[in-house]
Structure 1
Amino acid sequence: MLIIRNWYLNFSSMRRRSNVSFNIKTFVGITFLFLYCEYIIYYVVISSCKWPELNPANEDPTIAKNNYEPVKVMVLADTHLLGSRNGHWFDKLRREWQMHRAFQTAMSLFKPDLVFVLGDLTDEGLYCSDAEFEYYVKRFYNLFAVPETTKLYVAVGNHDIGFHYRVSPYLNQRFVAAFNAPAVQLISVKGNHFVLVNSMALEGDGCFLCQPAEHQLSRIEKKLKCTKGDYSGKCDSKLDIYSKPILMQHYPLYRKSDMECDDFDAAPDPIKRERFRETWECLSKEATTQLLNQIKPRLALSGHTHHGCTRPLPNGDGIEITLPSFSWRNKENPNFGLGVFTPNNYAFTKCEMPKEFTVIILYIIGVIILLLWLLCTRYKKYKLR
């Protein structure tokens, strides 16, 4: 009896240790699958992107060379943080986690000098309450936190304050105060000049928003001309050195549609053929001409359409790049831009992020492998009994 009792106790102990070991392995497997799909995959995918290299052949011969170090810039658009009306709570949680991880991974890998977010930071900013808007602001700065060495600037979008016809002084000022985003602002860093514009302020109808924006654009135009030496009148102020600006705003410049866009992240064919309405899907012809004449940019960056596009500027002097939405809710393959700028040269590239379809497939494959392993382990144990 004693021998049988000892054998039973040893067998029970071994069985408990085996079950503990089995449970630990199962837990480790589930944890690794979750960590890979929700954390590691962002480093795997985004690390394949690199800062673009400046090509000496693209240097602007009209701009004198200088000793400034290149400025490294990260650009994204249309984060569309969900509010209380649209979307399920899990949808909101999922999208914000994805954007947070993608952004913070990019920040740790690339460490840009400047970050620009080109409008539609919020999805319901145009009609949410003050309390909810404050919550929006807090969430945005938590999700897209940057270190002290990086400066973050934003442009306003139609989802933040509304299209031109419904923008009120109150909604505009609420956004300006929260994000330090006036209708027009000039940011100069190491001889590079970035001009951020409120697209809804370019209607040209003398509204409370449009008239101050036009005056500010005229002042920037004068300052650029004075710095270049092209202004015939009296110059009140100048920039350190002249270089062609980089224009940034929410709306794309005027174009008929996305038919001329052949980027990997361009709109699918049915959407490509849809004609753009001026002041809705793009700027008006008049506003586009005004901006190009006043700013004379070498590069124009925009968002709004949720799809990518690269095309020559309408005046033929530079290119325009439209960035897709940064949110998986609006784009199956969201991405962001990296740019390297000197006063007489620049290079720009788009960086892909993990596709949601890939993450779902990985979860499915991981769960299947885990279930098969569980079944095989149980079957072997059953045979040994």
Structure 2
Amino acid sequence: MPTRFRLNIKCLGKIVASVIGVLFYCEYLHYYVILAQCTWPVLDPTTANSNITNNGTQLHAMVLADTHLLGKINGHWFDKLRREWQMHRTFQTAVTLHHPQVYVFLGDLFDEGKWCQPEEFAEYVSRFHHLFKVPEESHILIAVGNHDIGFHYSVSPYLISRFERAFDVGPVKLVQISGVTFVIINSMAMEGDNCFLCRPAVNKIRVISQQLKCARGDTEACKYWKNPALHQFSQPIVLQHYPLYRDSDAVCHEPDEAPPEIKNTRFRERWECISKDATEMLLDYLSPRLVLSGHTHHGCHVTHTTSRGATVHEYTVPSFSWRNKRSPTFSMATLSPNNFAIYKCHMPQEFTVVAIYVISLVLMAIWLIRKKVKSQGILYVKVYNHLD
């Protein structure tokens, strides 16, 4: 084999190896490098509710919102492929590194769930379970979003029932895991107009309120509303898609908060947040210690005060998709029956990944140019010596 041909094969092999190495790092290993820096928060014993028994139980929950899996109408096929791969890799890397016991999805799983056909919805559900596959022993808690079934004005019994059947949810659902109580709420059922969706949701909230009182030791409430699923009392954690009422994101001071150009834009009740009346109803009936919400695509931590003077923390979780957020995060929550702690885990920056690709391409081009120049120099010397 001629020397020049052998050198070209060797050069090509180095190029292929370099390309594969850069792809492997950017599309796989980089996620481990970034997410390995995240840790589960430690509970502060001084913030625990001393009236509630802890029993040493702690849950680790991964909380994310607004995955917005694209359908057939919105978005380019490459956009869909790229965003879903990013979310898939981030999620599965977090599962491998941190082993959450509970996975919380705060609505808008799908981007076109509100108008897709039955066969498209079935494909949506299958894709969701593939992208966000979890160990069998894990718990998945899902709140419905407006992109999943539509805003309140466009919700139909069919759209609601197919989502509820697919993900085992309801207008309001009470769940207790290892002594930690969750109340999952359909935000579109908080309209307050006594519609076919809202009326049973409000009635269920009233029932859960009595069940919580019974678990706390109210014997009068236990006569009618005892719930065997509540093995002990724990102030509930509310999971819903819409945030509780707030005037705007101007009160938010987080690294993943809304950008300055929209931060002061006023929220419309029942569109960007639930109404003030619905907020007061939830706080009064459920007395939650923590509310987790999504919908705005930006992070926020605010506190609310109940009519009894208790403080309720709310964390709005930003979109999990790079399509909606340049620097997305997800929340890692350590939960016990009487305490909680929240940590924001920053996901890989798309800018960083693109920069690595660009720098690698530039370095590869420089290497090829130097090799070309070097080979031409050797050839010139050989020809010159031969002529002499």
Same fold (TM over 0.5): yes
Q: Distance in 1 between matches of 2:362 and 2:248?
A: 44
Verify: 1:303 aligned to 2:297, yes or no.
no
1:193 Cα deviation from its structure 2 partner? 0.3
* Aligned counterpart for 1:321 among listed residues 289, 293, 315: 315
* Aligned counterpart for 1:162 among listed residues 136, 150, 165: 150
1:346 Cα deviation from its structure 2 partner? 1.2
The question of whether the paired residues in 2 share the 8 Å contact of 1:281 and 1:304 is answered with yes
Verify: 1:278 aligned to 2:269, yes or no.
yes
1:356 Cα deviation from its structure 2 partner? 1.1
Matched ranges for 1:29-108 at <5 A: 29-67=18-56, 69-108=57-96
Verify: 1:384 aligned to 2:378, yes or no.
yes
1:231 Cα deviation from its structure 2 partner? 5.5
The residue identity in structure 1 corresponding to 2:217 is G
Q: Normalized against structure 1, the TM-score is what? A: 0.94
1:116 Cα deviation from its structure 2 partner? 0.8
The residue number in structure 2 matching 1:202 is 190
- The list of structure 1 runs, each at least 4 consecutive aligned residues, that deviate by more than 6 angstroms after superposition, is none
1:175-228: CA deviation from partner (whole Å, max 9, x where unpaired) = 111111211111101110011100000112221111111121122111100011
The question of whether the paired residues in 1 share the 8 Å contact of 2:63 and 2:103 is answered with yes
The question of whether the paired residues in 2 share the 8 Å contact of 1:222 and 1:231 is answered with no
Verify: 1:334 aligned to 2:322, yes or no.
no
1:269 Cα deviation from its structure 2 partner? 1.4
1:236 Cα deviation from its structure 2 partner? 4.2
Number of positions where the alignment pairs a residue of Structure 1 with one of Structure 2: 373
1:290/1:231 CA distance change after superposition, 3 Å:
farther
RMSD of equivalent CA atoms: 1.2
Q: Distance in 2 between matches of 1:155 and 1:318?
A: 20
The residue number in structure 1 matching 2:232 is 241
Structure 2, unaligned runs of 5 or more: 380-388
1:121-164: CA deviation from partner (whole Å, max 9, x where unpaired) = 01111111111111111111111111112121211000011110
1:371 Cα deviation from its structure 2 partner? 0.8
Identity of aligned residues (%): 50
1:230 Cα deviation from its structure 2 partner? 3.3
1:362 Cα deviation from its structure 2 partner? 1.2
1:50 Cα deviation from its structure 2 partner? 0.4
The residue identity in structure 1 corresponding to 2:220 is S
The residue number in structure 1 matching 2:252 is 261
The residue identity in structure 1 corresponding to 2:291 is A
1:235 Cα deviation from its structure 2 partner? 4.2
Q: Normalized against structure 2, the TM-score is what? A: 0.94
Moved more, 226-235 or 196-205: 226-235
The question of whether the paired residues in 1 share the 8 Å contact of 2:242 and 2:272 is answered with yes
The question of whether the paired residues in 1 share the 8 Å contact of 2:62 and 2:103 is answered with yes
1:111 Cα deviation from its structure 2 partner? 0.8
SS of match in other structure, 2:321: coil
The question of whether the paired residues in 2 share the 8 Å contact of 1:119 and 1:160 is answered with yes
The residue identity in structure 2 corresponding to 1:279 is R
* Aligned counterpart for 2:366 among listed residues 360, 372, 375: 372
Structure 1, unaligned runs of 5 or more: 1-8
Verify: 1:250 aligned to 2:238, yes or no.
no
Verify: 1:135 aligned to 2:119, yes or no.
no
The residue number in structure 1 matching 2:283 is 292
Verify: 1:116 aligned to 2:104, yes or no.
yes
1:20 Cα deviation from its structure 2 partner? 1.8
Matched ranges for 1:345-356 at <5 A: 345-356=339-350
The question of whether the paired residues in 1 share the 8 Å contact of 2:294 and 2:317 is answered with yes
The residue identity in structure 1 corresponding to 2:233 is Y
